[in-house]
Amino acid sequence: EHGYVDIAPTEDQIFVELGMVTPEVLAQARAQAEKNNSLIVDEISKLQHLDELKLYRSMAKQCGLPLQSMEQLLSKVDPRVFSRFSQAFLDNLQAIPLCVERGRLLVACTRPGTSMREIQLVFPELKIEKILVTPVDYRRLWSSLTRGAKGGKDAGEQERPSDDKTDKDLLDSETGEPDARLVAVYEALLLDAVADRASDIHLEKYRDRVRVRLRVDGELRDLHHYQISAAGYRGLVNVVKLRAEMNIAERRLPQGGRSQVRVGDARFDLRVQVQPSLHGEHVVIRLLPQNSPLISIDSLGMSPLVAGHYRRLLNNPAGLVLVVGPTGSGKSTTLNAGLQMLADDARRKVITVEDPIEYSIDDIQQTRVRPEIGFSFADAMRSFVRQDPDVILVGEIRDHETALESIRASQTGHIVLSTLHCNDAIDAVQRLFDLNVHPNSLASELLAVIAQRLAKRICPHCKYEAEPEPDILKELFPGDAPKHFRSYKGKGCERCHGSGTHGRVAVVEYLQLNAELRDSISRGRPVGELRAQALDSGLITMRDSALDHVIAGNIPLSELPRILPEERMAPEKRGQWQR
């Protein structure tokens, strides 16, 4: 009868009741929040190193409020309700009125104690129901609404956006450029990608539509809530080009560029590639996290046997170690997990040359190649040997010169780690032959090859034992499948957004060279003979690793046809190399 009465406990009481903070930490968080003009919950998350989603889930449970994601709320949004309020007022309040539903006004907010008094004055006849959202989802929802609210004339026909290269936080972005709507679209795209753990953003123009997709866990997913006109798409591509320092007037040739962005405490290096196409330019933006926690060897998903071999390889006095696979198969992550182990060993000096530097690692000397000024991988390798290193990492062996310098460095008493684009461990040998590496040099210096793919990991929160797919079993076991063969799937839940999978795990093939294999490599044996000999010499195949993951409940059986070629699904025959 008297309007909205807020009886929710204060944020101070909530955090103390949850047992998350002491009064001293809370005081420190409040001081930081006031200083940075941020939320207390964000400062507590930083000080206590807590997962933001887990923190908000606990807070929602304690306050009796539902916690929902941007995807869940977007379908409920009524722009007419949102437009009843001043945007400055709502942004200051950190609240978004969503819609009227069965006599209730749904309001998304980032704080349980957000006052609803002013909102109640606009809708005095309705009961207000709060919905808690994380700050990232709040900003994504806000960007989506403000894009719709600005509407009207297409911003693609306005003047060009200015080049803003400052290191600003997208969660606090206020776009005041003439082309502010398109800048808001671009920043909303980046926020969506970060929130969904995407590795790439794809912008594609076809005859009558614009397609926006994110690559999450190796799989492309459409974003349907972006409605971009043809003129707007051209303007959006110009925004991307300006941020990546590319020529916006050039639309006939492919272009590449880089930029940086910060979202909260997370920093990302963006690699941008623009490609001309039939109906317009297509854009791919790769997001490389710069300050994410490094993964350890134990977290890669290798079997204990392969992980033990990998650690031993890094302790060798000299030799060449290769990690191979297609683009996006996690090669750099595997190498950097090894570098993290080496960084903890103060007895050895480690130098890397990369393009770009994907992970910043303390106690490792990291260098970036700059082809535009004549500083290539090979040039770096020649200078590195005079820096007295023990271990050298080469980001990628791309040409004969880099391959030759890598072999020479291993011959002069260094462990050399590198990546190569090829399909499996034996193909790596043939690839180096194609780069004109002498067979004798390769046979003497190559220690081991790790070939890998990334498979989608089953969500641990909705995993259940499932009946194996008969057609896949028939490929895996042409005879009879084992009687008690087990496989698992994910049902789909809130934590995995209904997909049944969350994250990825490495499926590896491991080849360690022995005397017989070195002799065959030096003689230039055909690839088929080398593989048969490798199988007899203890090659751990990708099929074996994948089946171990399936039985352990790490990956679904349906992932195997995606990561294994048809001829490698069944057990491989051994002993064919002997004559």
Query: DSSP string covering 366-398, please?
Result: EEE-BGGGTB-HHHHHHHHGGG--SEEEES---
How buried is residue 449: exposed, middle or buried, by Cβ count under 10 Å (0-12/13-18/19+)? buried
Which residues contact residue 457 at a Cβ distance below 8 angstroms, ignoring those fewer than 6 apart? 301, 501, 502, 503, 504, 505, 554, 555
Task: Report the CATH number of the 151-289 domain.
Answer: 3.30.450.90
Task: Provide the CB-side half-sphere exposure for 21 (13 A, CA).
Answer: 27
Q: Taking a C-beta distance cutoff of 8 angstroms, is the pair 473, 561 a contact?
A: no
Q: Does residue 15 contact residue 26 with C-beta atoms inside 8 Å?
A: yes
What letters, b where the CB count within 10 A reaches 16 and e where it falls short, cover 352-387?
bbbbebbbebeebebbebeeeeeebbbbbbeebbee
Residue 154: its pLDDT value, please? 40
Per-residue pLDDT of the chain (579 residues), as tens digits, is 455 555 444 555 566 565 666 767 777 777 777 776 666 666 776 666 666 677 788 778 878 888 888 778 877 888 888 888 877 788 778 889 988 888 889 999 888 888 888 888 888 888 999 998 887 788 878 877 776 544 433 433 333 344 444 455 665 544 434 356 788 788 888 888 888 888 899 999 998 889 999 998 888 888 887 878 888 888 899 989 988 888 888 888 898 888 888 877 678 888 899 999 988 899 999 988 876 666 788 888 888 899 999 999 999 989 999 999 988 888 888 988 888 888 888 888 899 988 877 777 888 888 888 877 878 888 888 888 888 889 999 988 988 998 998 999 999 889 999 999 998 999 999 999 999 999 999 999 999 999 999 999 999 889 999 888 888 988 888 878 788 888 999 998 877 878 888 888 899 999 999 999 999 999 988 888 899 999 988 899 999 999 999 998 999 999 999 999 888 888 887 654 443
Domain edges within the chain: 11-134, 151-289, 297-456+504-547
Length of the chain: 579
β-strands 365-368, 127-132 pairing: unpaired
Q: What is the DSSP string of 329-379?
A: SSHHHHHHHHHHHHHT-TTS-EEEEESS--S--TTSEEEE-BGGGTB-HHH
pLDDT at 576: 47
Report pLDDT for 71: 75
Residue keyed to tokens 């909705």: 462
Third-level CATH fold of 297-456+504-547: Rossmann fold (3.40.50)
Query: Which secondary structure element, helix H or strand E, spans residue 16, and what is its range?
Result: helix 11-17
Asked if residues 275 and 202 have their Cβ atoms less than 8 Å apart, the reply is: no
Q: pLDDT (tens digit, 9 = 90+) per residue, 369-393?
A: 887 787 888 888 888 888 888 999 9
Partners of 261 in the beta sheet? 268
The first and second tokens of residue 170, run together, are 């997208």
SS3 category, 144:
helix
User: Could you give the CA distance from residue 513 to residue 510 in angstroms, rounded to a whole number?
Assistant: 10
Dihedral (CA of 376, 382, 387, 392) sign: positive
For 459, other C-beta atoms within 10 Å of its C-beta total 21
**The pair of three-digit structure tokens given for residue 10, joined into one six-digit string:** 């204060």
- pLDDT tens string 417-456: 999 999 899 999 999 999 999 999 999 999 999 999 999 9
- The reply to whether 151-289 and 297-456+504-547 are identical in fold is no
User: Are 83 and 151 within 8 A, CB to CB?
Assistant: no
d(CA 444, CA 511): 15
Q: For tokens 């990291």, name the residue.
A: 366
Return the closest-CA partner of residue 33 out of 86, 94, 87, 115.
Answer: 94
Burial class (CB in 10 A: 0-12, 13-18, 19+), 57: middle
Task: Please state, in angstroms and rounded to a whole number, the distance separating the CA atoms of residues 257 and 252.
Answer: 16
